[in-house]
Structure 1
Amino acid sequence: MASGSKIEWTEVTWNPVTGCDRISAGCDNCYALTLSKRLKAMGAAKYQNDGNPVTSGPGFGVTTHPRALRQPYTWRAPRTVFVNSMSDLFHARVPIDFIADVFKVIADTPQHTYQVLTKRPSRVLKLADQLDWPANLWLGVSVEEAKVRDRIAALRKVPAAVRFLSCEPLIGPLGHLELDGIGWVIVGGESGHGARPVQANWVTEIRDQCVDANVPFFFKQWGGRTPKANGRELDGRLWDEMPALAAS
């Protein structure tokens, strides 16, 4: 139900929901879609529902997993938890009652810090007043190119303890970012088959805006054939800045 993560900005992934649908250019080479197909073929129980063949794929149909809700209660030591690395909690086919159940688990385990990432902030806004927002929940939006910068304005209206941007896979320059109310920015290049190369000036432009605005900046990778193919250094150093964790 959960696993240690190779994602540099978290410690463990927790997937009470699996499956999704592609909605923007950043989804074109979705790692979760490819992995779900493999997990279905291996017989993994959580990945047997197929999604729309145009927007989703084998094993990637949106599916809730109520039994997975118990997992965080078993973790004694504080953890940083990426929620739904294999889905989007705010997908239209995830019922609000189940989202509320996820939020309750988060509130019940305040020793952990939970990171929720969505490409659907408009649905978050529609549901925000109907949810109790735990103090240990961070909410982020994906901002892969300039044409989806409007997600930032929507995020700013959400009552999350920390609001963050995931500019990964960064597939184009973002230009000016309005960082008021934003507590963290992650940037990463795309990896895997067909990875679209990231340009250094796209990254440094974002980094410089974060430094000027005193917003923690995390550079995850340059990407390439594999996530680590071209390393993580930017201007001769690692950028691993993060907001304070719930248990700090």
Structure 2
Amino acid sequence: MAGTTSIEWTDATWNPMTGCTKISAGCDHCYAERFSERFRGVPGHPFEHGFDLLLRPERLLQPLAWKTPKMIFVNSMSDLFHKGVPVAFVDQVFDTMESARWHTFQILTKRSSRMRDYVNRRYARSAAPEHVWLGTSVEDGSRRSRIRHMQDMNAAVRFLSVEPLIGPMGRMNLRGIDWVIVGGESGPKARPLHPDWVREVRDQCHDEGVAFFFKQWGGIRPKAGGRSLDGKEWSQLPSVKPIRREVFVPEE
């Protein structure tokens, strides 16, 4: 577990597994892969095996030892719902989160259908705990189906990470979504972020009463462009609401 992080919307990271494989265009220039592969072949380094998918069971109980309440981003260097992760291992991750109720856990996946199916099995009679926030990454309008998967999931808090935003999102159905994060891509091959794409998402969040967080403009260095949009920094967080089920309303 990392005690600090430069990610603006969380306090710490917890990686009970590392490594992943690409699934859509938002993965093309993955920061986690770029970082991990720098150390491939370095004996004894945590990323000696680069970005290969590795389970790290020795880390499963780490949050229980961290007594100060924190926002914890789960698997900043992987995807918990990758098809290569056994359900039994996902169970252990959720067991730890359920026990460490003084923390808030933020899980983010691009495998949103697998997350939905898992959560709906585990929490068939009630929603997931409200200190476990469940989110999916959506990089442009072609991936809006992931939003539907979130809406059809038994969750107390649902969020979207629209990062890296590489094209317009278009009209989104935000029913049941509590929080939307938007950010531009960073790194040497960063694709440009058009301000109107960000405004389009912000304005829809405003109209629907959804918390909006603008993380960064991106570029070669993630912080270089700042995070001000139209003269303001947007740092809204979701209000934790009573556990509920949302009825999914299909997009028109």
- Structure 2 length normalisation: TM-score? 0.90
CA contact (8 A) 1:163 1:182 kept: yes
Deviations 1:178-227 (A, max 9, x none): 00000000000111111000000000010000001110000000111100
* Match in the other structure for 1:128: 119
Q: How many residues matched?
A: 237
CA contact (8 A) 1:103 1:134 kept: no
Matched, 1:27 2:22: no
Q: What percent identity do the matched residue pairs reach?
A: 51
**Hey, which bits of structure 1, 4+ residues long, moved more than 6 A?**
none
CA contact (8 A) 2:157 2:240 kept: no
Three-state SS of the structure 2 residue aligned to 1:117 is: strand
CA shift at 1:135, angstroms? 2.7
Unmatched 5+ residue regions in structure 2?
A: 242-252
* Match in the other structure for 1:48: 48
CA contact (8 A) 1:2 1:71 kept: no
* Match in the other structure for 2:17: 17
RMSD: 1.5
Q: Quick one: structure 1 residues 74 and 239, their matched pair in 2 at CA, closer, same or farther if it must change by over 3 Å? A: same
Unmatched 5+ residue regions in structure 1?
A: 50-58
Deviations 1:93-147 (A, max 9, x none): 1111111111111110111000000000111233233324333111111110111
CA contact (8 A) 1:89 1:118 kept: yes
Supply the AA of the counterpart residue of 1:75.
W
Residue in structure 2 matching 1:109, options 100, 122, 134: 100
CA shift at 1:75, angstroms? 1.0
CA shift at 1:45, angstroms? 4.6
- Structure 1 length normalisation: TM-score? 0.91
Three-state SS of the structure 1 residue aligned to 2:61 is: helix
CA distance in 2, matches of 1:203, 1:144: 12
Bigger shift: residues 123-132 or 76-85:
123-132
Q: Quick one: structure 1 residues 44 and 151, their matched pair in 2 at CA, closer, same or farther if it must change by over 3 Å? A: farther
Residue in structure 1 matching 2:62, options 65, 71, 74: 71
* Match in the other structure for 2:185: 190
Supply the AA of the counterpart residue of 2:139.
E
